[in-house]
Amino acid sequence: MGDCGAENPLGVVLPSPEKYSPEVLYPIPRAPARESIGMRADLQMFGFDLWQAFELSWLSEEGKPQVAFAEFEFPSDSPSIIESKSLKLYLNSLNHERFATSEVVADLICRDLSNACGSAVQVFLRGLDDYRRELSSESSADIRPCESLDAYPLLRIVSVVDESLLQSERRSREEAGREDCVVSDLFRSNCPVTNQPDWASVVIRYTGVDIDPSSLLSYLCSYRAHQGYHEECAERIFKAISERCEPDSLFVAMNYLRRGGLDINVYRSSERISRADRIRRSVRQ
């Protein structure tokens, strides 16, 4: 793993670097969070964390400002995640640097993020016009219909995360293969460093069981006072549904509200997934 910053920059007032500074990247090991929620080593879980950056800029060799939309895909089995403020500071450190092409920028970012998190990161850069055209070409037919949980009543209001709220029953053999998809925009947790709220839309798809909607919504709302990083919250939800409801298949996506030009989108699945399975744009973005 790369030699990154010695202190977590979150909650500390720091100026943006004036020159290329990969050392500001701050890795946070995944293992302690997984150990704290009792994640079993044999729990089958695949996925990735997709970060979308909307404030990436650098200079051409002639000194002309360049801008791009970037996606960073971190594998869920990487030893560490990257603290989000440190990533923002790192991207800002490129603002005054000159590069021949966007490919050079992408390769540099890929190398630095991979070194920091201890695993191969995929980096995709696109011009804003290309991104705008992609969004306009997407049709609603590409989006799987999901039932909103948010109109259901809560079983009860709790102030701590409570997996026992989850209620489910096995389906008949004939119904077992049907995939249900539900979504909630009511999720809130809190940053473990600043205690500021983090807002997310949660999409959950599953087969093999019927999960009571009120119980699932109540469980998601029990995170309202929980302090946890985005990735830890997603894995805690995945683990709880896997163990309490025992679905045949499970997919959990959390699309977080953009802050500082970055949005974090966490995907965990009982089956292997790829970037093509991401939710291209949610209401939070």
Q: Does 142 participate in catalysis according to the annotation?
A: no
Measure the N-to-C terminal CA separation of the chain; round to a whole number of Å: 31
Asked about 198 being catalytic, the answer comes back as yes
Nearest to 151 by CA among 181, 180, 184, 179: 184
Closest CA to 114 of 83, 161, 164, 72: 72
Amino acid at 71: E
Q: Render 207-241 in DSSP notation, one character per residue.
A: ESEEE-HHHHHHHHHTTTT-B--HHHHHHHHHHHH
**Catalytic pick from 49, 198, 233, 263?**
198
- How, if at all, do strands 262-269 and 209-211 pair? unpaired
Q: How far apart are CA 182 and CA 194, in angstroms?
A: 30
Identified catalytic residue from 110, 146, 185, 191: 191
Catalytic residues: 191, 198
